[in-house]
A and B are shown apart, each in its own frame.
Chain A
Amino acid sequence: MTTVGCEEARERLAAWLSGEIEPDERGALDMHLRSCAACAADADRARRALDVVASEEVPDPGPLYWSSFGVRLRARIAAARRRTLRRRLTAAIAAAAVVVAGLAVLQRRHEAPSAGAGPVAEKRPDVPDNVPAPLPAAKDAAGTATDRARRLPGQGSPARRALPVAEAEVRLREALDRAVAQGHDPGEIEALLEEIAPADPLDGADLAGHLSPEEGRRLADELLEPRG
């Protein structure tokens, strides 16, 4: 067994105090402590200090607290999902509104040269009169899903989508139209969003709660970044 000096003994003290010390290191340290009164006293004081610290208990908040812990956590998770859902919908609507507005401007520019040439015939060849006119290209960009939902029976299976989704899409379409007409007022978009996606924990909860593996890894890494 190798012998150790005072300096090395002090270095090994942390491992000794923590109990994580290799047997041969422990033997050498014990031997040194038996022969060096100063180091032995030092180690003893350190151990007593830790004993005092370890005797300090955390007050238990009680069974009522623990029985409500999971319920409160679930409520917090649901609230976080609602916030995430709202943020995503708001971003989607805002982005769609910008696209719609841009396309509308492009369409107006495109139609401008024929404006003075008198009314253009609205009649479309090869299309029966009872079929609604197609929506302008500008609106189609944001309203494709709605259009599918509005198709007449027999013109496509999406017409039979679940009512809340179809209704939400119609409202979204209307909200976008109004947002375009009124210059994308964020306050109104938010208010309309509340109509479209009310704060219901079951409404779209899965969307907000599930991250892709890549998103999850990024979030996990961010959580582990020391902030202190």
Chain B
Amino acid sequence: MEFGPDPQDGDGAFVARFLGGDESAFDELVRRHRRAVYRLAYRLLGNHEEADDVSQEAFLRAYRALRGFRGDSSFRTWISRIAINLSLSARQVRAPVVPIQEMPAPGSEAAGPEAALRKEVRRAVDGLPPRQRQVLVLKVYEGMKFSEIALAAGMSIGTAKATFFQAVRGLRARLAPEAARRGEEA
């Protein structure tokens, strides 16, 4: 199983430089984390427009709040938590829509097994309760440890583990036929 990339820290120096008045240090923090924040928002929201908006807003709020950043967690965990909360808010206010990516383009091969599987996966992840979805995304795609997930999602480590297990169970129930078929092909 391929989890997300290992966290690259060393952000503390950039945070310190920014707090010392070096604006370019914040730009560097943005460069280091913008893709991860975008990916996280995209996985939680399912479309580019909202993921873009949440990414920008997360960094804007980080910029304004960085002076109060206590360093209890890594910058990555901190910015992830901001993005998670923004994504949750975005999901609450929006009307349920079918993401564009799920609509097969005319003449495309969207009816193929690979597309069907992706669609099934997206639907399965989308169907999870928000907290399970968050934990799953942070663990599977962001490669966070449970201790980091606990900080990022605002829960205890035990709850993070239990929530992850519930998410896996939920996915397993939804994806069992697809996974079984894939296993047979492998």
Contacts and interface: CB of A to CB of B under 8 A. Distances in A.
Interface of A: 11, 13-15, 17-20, 44-56, 58-59, 61, 65-66, 69-70, 72-73, 76-77, 80, 209-213, 215-221, 223-228
Given A45-B172, A80-B64, A15 B161 contact: yes
A18 B169 contact: no
A226 B65 contact: no
Contact of A211 (B3, B35, B64, B85): B64
Nearest to B82: A223
Interface string B128-148: 001100001001110001100
Given A14-B168, A15-B161, A220 B69 contact: yes
Contact of A77 (B34, B63, B146, B176): B63
DSSP majority for the A interface? Answer: helix
Interface of B: 1-3, 27, 30-31, 34-35, 38-39, 42-43, 48, 52, 55-57, 59-61, 63-70, 78, 81-82, 85, 88-89, 91-92, 101, 117-118, 121-122, 124-125, 130-131, 136, 139-141, 145-146, 154, 161-162, 164-165, 168-169, 171-172, 175-176, 178-180, 182-183
Nearest to B62: A223
Contacts of B30: 69-70, 73
Contacts, number: 155
B121 to A, nearest CB: 5
A15 to B, nearest CB: 6
B55 to A, nearest CB: 8
A215 B68 contact: yes
A17 B63 CA distance: 36
Given A215-B68, A220-B65, A224-B82, A56 B178 contact: no
Contact of B68 (A77, A219, A225, A227): A219
Contact of A52 (B56, B60, B169, B175): B175
B89 A227 contact: yes
